[in-house]
Amino acid sequence: MFGLRLILILAVMGGIIAYIADKLGSKIGKKKLTVMGLRPHNTSVLLTVLSGILIAGCTIGVLAVSSQSARTALFGMEQLQKEMAALNDEKTKATEELKAALAEVTSKNNQIAKLDVEIKESQAAKAAAEANLSQAQASLSAAEGDLAQAREQYNLAQADLVSAKGEVANLTEARDRLNQEIKSLQQDTALLQQGLNNMKEGQVLYRSGEVVFAGVLKGRQDEAKNKEQIQWLVRSANAAVLDRMGVQDQKGLEPLWIMKDEYGRLVQQLNESKNDLIVRIRVVANTVVGEPVICRLEINDNKLIFAGGTLIYRKVINMNDQKQSADATFMDFLSEVNRLSVGAGVLPDPVSGKVGNMDVGTMVDLVKKMQKQGGNVLLSAYASGNIYSSGPVQLKVDVEKVIDSAVTGGV
């Protein structure tokens, strides 16, 4: 729209100037006027030339005033051409840099694709190794009589894990976690091999139901404290197994296996319990030296069963009318204390069924005292300190001479 107005203005202006020049030329011709001594005809020609110059000048002036582009074309064309040449050079350079960048991007994409392939292969190897390990674990816990087959499956799983470790060693830092897991399993294998070298092949390390380790965990703790308690329990149990195997260097070795569900159950009970918990780690099946010790957790509230000084059991014994030795009689007395303690809530050893032990020297002294008293002797068993569900039952036994034979004993 602006261009049409500009053309119209230039046409009208040119027409006006031409009209004025024509009138002036006619007037000069009729009156035969002269300029600077020229002939009237030449004066008319000069006026025509000047009018044309005036038209051109006015046209250029109007264009310059009304349009930045026209001013640039009239007065800045050379500068514009220089700037265009510089921009063309920059465009050429940018095009070359773009080509180089595209080539580098293509190279990086190829490297990334290669790394993706290696990562997928490593992940597949890891999954296969974990599957083999899970199969070995399931086989070990399935039956006591199938330990030979479980050993073979475990060795296959271990070989697969070692192979997977070699495959993922050259990948990125994200694969380091898998390397650590494989390293841990290799250390477990070294532990089992060392145990085989220290003990006779095929010797039973733990019997089914035997307690590997027992510990008291405090209730009413936050999540971080509970995690620390569980870690202490597992470390202590692993140390107990390694001591049983005769392994000296225990750093990083974990021969003890406990299912993740067991840990979850322990965490839940710790979070919910208002009392301290006695946690006993017990062997699932007979374990041969060199095999991982597969265990489960036995969790109970650690309650106070007998306060210190509480009378647990007493009995009158006639030392002059005994069908068995004094030693056997005293052992019967301790067996009854053991039975009553278990009935009251003290957890016995799963293998022996006992809840405590008495020093041999103390037993000998008490038997001698019974024999020295003679006749009716009153044996009284007291709790020497607070006794909880976790045990052990520590006793203080008094031996007294009595005359009233009607006293027969009880709790």
- Rounded mean pLDDT for each run of 10 residues along the chain, 411 residues in total: 67 76 70 66 73 75 68 67 85 89 89 90 88 76 63 73 66 68 63 51 76 86 85 88 76 78 84 85 83 86 87 87 80 88 85 79 86 86 88 87 58 47
CA atoms within a 13 Å half-sphere pointing along the CA-CB vector of 208 = 8
pLDDT value, residue 35 = 64
Residues 14 and 56 in one domain: yes
The reply to whether 208 and 284 lie within a common domain is yes
**99 belongs to a structural domain:** no
Q: Are residues 383 and 347 part of one domain?
A: yes
* Domain identity same for 64 and 153: no
Report the distance separating Cα 211 and Cα 284, nearest Å: 10
Name the domain count of the chain: 4
Give the end of a domain, one of 14, 47, 75.
Answer: 75
The CB-based long-range contact list for 322-325 (8 Å cut-off, 24+ gap) reads: none
Domain boundary among 75, 104, 128: 75
**CA 385, CA 319: separation in Å to the nearest integer?**
29
Residues 142 and 231 in one domain: no
| One domain for residues 296 and 310 | no
Whether residue 113 is contained in a domain is answered as no
For the whole model, what pTM was predicted?
0.46
DSSP result, 276-311: -EEEEEEESS-EETTS-EEEEEEEEE--EEE-TT-E
- 215 and 140 share one domain: no
358 in the same domain as 313: yes
Does 364 lie in the same domain as 272?
Answer: no
Residue 200: its pLDDT value, please?
44
For position 408, what pLDDT does the model report?
47
Q: Domain range for residue 141? A: 119-198
CA distances from 143 to 28, 150, 256, 404 (A): 136, 9, 18, 58
Q: How many CB atoms lie within 10 A of CB 228?
A: 12
Pairing type for strands 376-383 and 395-401 reads antiparallel
Domain end point (choices 198, 216, 236): 198
How far, in Å, CA of 81 to CA of 130, rounded?
72
